[in-house]
Structure 1
Amino acid sequence: MVTIAERLDAAYDRIAQAAKKCGRDYKDINLIAVSKKKPLEDILAAFAHGHREFAESYVQEGVEKVLQLKEHKNIVWHFIGPIQSNKTKLIAENFTWVQSVDREKIAKRLNEQRPNNLKPLQVLIQVNIDNDENKSGCSVEELPKLAEFIHNCRQLELRGLMAIPAQSMSFDTQLQSFAQLRACFDKLKTQYPQLDTLSMGMSADVDAAIAAGSTMVRVGTAIFGERQQ
């Protein structure tokens, strides 16, 4: 039976190989282990192997894990799921990163509810790059206004962009979607030079994401196996 440690090593190796193909340094690409619907022992197995950054998509489940593993102070928790207004307080109080901010109302609540004794919440704006009605995210047209709003929030720190493109088995189609997000990122960075994070790429499209310039990939299935429904 393949262990989580072995799966992690395979994920690291895949990132390294994809980076090498396009002349990039693998050290510039951060792997986030998506642990939603996975038990604590799986997270602890990855932690024991040296991995420190994990992502959750469901607020209640994620907060329970954060609290149960709070003695592991060097775990960095990312929230990557759709955000409902009535869940912003839990996210603001328990996560270090939130990658799925897609409207001002959510950003405003996160800013107001982030405790003053914590460092600003690290924020990525989720962009619906393919205008997919089944996906969350702001439109490309809405992006500049939302970025400006977040930039002016005291308890939020704008770090970059995230997207979940429409599913495709074609490398070229994947690359095209990711290239659009990269173009948005580069344009936004001219106004906000501190931007340093382009979160794109999951288990099925990591290679295309890295070729397009991703600095953060979110991998779940390839590390933890198929999730329970």
Structure 2
Amino acid sequence: MTPQLTDKYMVTIAERLTSAYARIAEAAQNAQRNSNDITLLAVSKTKPVSDIMAAYEQGQRQFGESYVQEAVDKIAQLATFSDIVWHFIGPIQSNKSALVANHFDWVQSVDRLKIAKRLNAQRPQEMPALNILIQVNISAEDAKSGCAAEEIDQLAQFISQCSQLKLRGLMAIPAKSDDANTQIQYFEQLQTCFDKLQTQYPHIDTLSMGMSNDVEAAITAGSTMVRIGTDIFGTRT
């Protein structure tokens, strides 16, 4: 059964989506970039299916989730909407890797060989290769997921040889800062890593960085995908 929409969801999320796209367009213009080169990933974790449907009705197709079982339940409920592109953006536990491999189109949070190996082995042969972003701990925070910059090459080499994985680029969640210059510095470090990786793998095309609080800095530094949740769906409960 198709989830029912309410006027409240339609109006509120429609307005927020419009604002988010306008913000991306303005940031791109200020950075002398084409906004069409920047994808908006709507981060829908902890939000109900009705919110996702409200965004879908406004043309949004790319959604990001961080909690495996919650996401799998949503994907099942929305299985008839085959044009939705599902991104997993959270940490991956080994005992949940099969669910991720079987249900998602993208995984943005691969940060170690063990997980890459499991995803490749568990991705069904009849499904398209799983699009992979390597998550980099660009601000070197002890409590944050992501590989070190010097570990990117080894991980990229392995992923590029996997038949069921497709290397697409890099992702990072830098340390929080309200200072735009500090934000840009972190993002530029990731951009440098991406540029270097692209010399070895010219097909990679995705640099996922920037969230609700630092979209402008990320786009200035070259982001091709921004992950926005709060500004579209409101504060998480």
TM interval, short-chain normalised: over 0.9
Residue 118 of structure 1 is matched in structure 2 by 127
Q: Structure 2 residue aligned with 1:188, among 197, 220, 230?
A: 197
Residue 36 of structure 2 is matched in structure 1 by 27
CA distance in 2, matches of 1:40, 1:130: 34
2:226 partner amino acid = V
Q: 3-state SS of the aligned residue for 1:141?
A: helix
Deviation per CA, 1:39-80: give whole Å up to 9, x if none.
010000000011000000000101110111000000000000
Residue 197 of structure 1 is matched in structure 2 by 206
2:51 partner amino acid = D
Residue 150 of structure 1 is matched in structure 2 by 159
Q: How many Å apart are 1:134 and its aligned residue?
A: 1.6
CA distance in 1, matches of 2:144, 2:173: 7
Q: Structure 1 residue aligned with 2:94, among 74, 85, 93?
A: 85
| 2:59 is aligned with 1:57 | no
The number of residue pairs the alignment matches comes to: 228
* Residue pairs, 1:69-108, within 5 angstroms: 69-108=78-117
Q: How many Å apart are 1:9 and its aligned residue?
A: 0.3
RMSD: 0.7
Which runs of 4 or more aligned residues in structure 1 lie more than 2 Å from their structure 2 counterparts after TM superposition? none
1:56 partner amino acid = E
CA distance in 1, matches of 2:69, 2:160: 28
1:103 partner amino acid = R
CA distance in 2, matches of 1:66, 1:44: 12
CA distance in 2, matches of 1:139, 1:152: 21
Deviation per CA, 1:97-134: give whole Å up to 9, x if none.
00000000000000000001100000000000010012
Q: 3-state SS of the aligned residue for 1:42?
A: helix
Q: 3-state SS of the aligned residue for 1:77?
A: strand
Deviation per CA, 1:117-164: give whole Å up to 9, x if none.
100000000000010012100001111000000000000000000000
Deviation per CA, 1:193-224: give whole Å up to 9, x if none.
00100000000000000000000000000000
Q: 3-state SS of the aligned residue for 1:3?
A: helix
1:86 partner amino acid = N
1:15 partner amino acid = I
2:162 partner amino acid = C
CA distance in 2, matches of 1:220, 1:8: 10
CA distance in 1, matches of 2:126, 2:219: 36
Report sequence identity in percent.
64
* TM-score scaled by length of structure 1: 0.99
CA distance in 2, matches of 1:135, 1:178: 16
CA distance in 2, matches of 1:19, 1:25: 6
Residue 3 of structure 2 is matched in structure 1 by none
Residue 217 of structure 1 is matched in structure 2 by 226
1:73 partner amino acid = S
Q: 3-state SS of the aligned residue for 1:32?
A: strand
CA distance in 1, matches of 2:218, 2:75: 28
Q: Structure 1 residue aligned with 2:169, among 154, 157, 160?
A: 160
